[in-house]
Structure 1
Amino acid sequence: MYEIDPTRLDLAEEFRRKPYGRHSAELQRVLNRMRTEPFDGHYVLLRDGRFGPYRLGRFGATPADPITPTGHVFQSLREAEWIVFKMRWKRLTGQDLALD
């Protein structure tokens, strides 16, 4: 399985600058790894209605388990995506992402 190199802060910076659209091949590998985590505890963004804020939740152990809200609320999708990226980075590398 692909291992994320925690020293590749350039990839995190690339995502922060451009979270949508085409990415470099190496960043795409990182994103693919992040998005294929085990179901249990996987982060997910939720939204109440079309114009409501984004909320962060986590999946349970099985698809039948309810999504557990974390309490994080975001006003923009861009902000939410960056925070989720940082949380997944920490979960997979064991290191905080020191970029803001």
Structure 2
Amino acid sequence: MTDPMPLSVPLLVVPGEPDRHYTVHVYRVGWSVPNVSVLLTDDDLARLEDNARRCLRAVSECIAAELSDADVEVIKHPVGVEAVARVLCDSDVCAAATEGIGL
């Protein structure tokens, strides 16, 4: 399994409206080819997807990421597979933290 990567990035959804802050909370986890010796089944991919969703909830300090149903994409690569979980958040606190500013 590759190292998981929690991440939160600021997002400007409506140009010209600086009072509306959004953040995308992201958690990525995957398996690389050296760690996978057999062809992954649909059940394996579903477990990877569930793991990404569960871990996003566990590592995030944001209530939106903990309670919202994360969008998860499973991506197959020639060197492995990864699952990326994402949640859109409209908290000013999260936006300030990702932009490195205090409220």
Give the TM-score, by structure 1 length. Answer: 0.29
Higher RCO (C-alpha 8 Å, min separation 6): 2
Structure of larger gyration radius: 2
Give the TM-score, by structure 2 length. Answer: 0.29
Structure in which a larger fraction of residues adopt strand: 2
